[in-house]
Amino acid sequence: MSTVLHASSLHWAEPVPVDPERIIRGAPATSTHVLFADGKTELGLWRATPGEFTTVHQGYEEFISVIEGEGELIHDDGSRITLNAGTVLILENGWRGRWSIASTLVKSYTTIRA
């Protein structure tokens, strides 16, 4: 069986505001559409509205493919990853930094618990 989704026509869950303690700029909110989860691995789609907020990848690795939108991931060491449609990356367990979203960003993701 195959599943075909189009991010632009997907029925997204109501956006959830990012925890105020994590926000650096703006009022970002996120929505997640989980496609598969078995306790160790999760696959899905994630959408974030403009703003900037911290993130810590603790206890899992994440494969990301950006579908639409623009922004940056900024590592705590200052290095930057430009995000736009077609960007593919892996964030290792322990990665710390922040999302800086310029226009609503949609990514497909796979997380694997350590």
Give the domain extent around 48: 18-113
Q: CA-CA distance, 69 to 66, in Å (whole number)?
A: 8
Structurally, how many domains does the chain consist of? 1
**85 lies in some domain:** yes
What tokens were used for 51? 């703003």
**Confidence (pTM):** 0.91
Contact 102, 50 (CB under 8 A): yes
Q: How many CA atoms lie within 13 A of 11 on its CB side?
A: 0
Contact 97, 73 (CB under 8 A): yes
Q: pLDDT tens-digit profile of 38-90? A: 999 999 999 999 999 999 999 999 999 999 999 999 999 999 999 999 999 99
Is a pLDDT exceeding 80 seen at residue 9?
A: no
CATH number, domain with residue 71: 2.60.120.10
CA end-to-end span of the chain, whole Å?
29
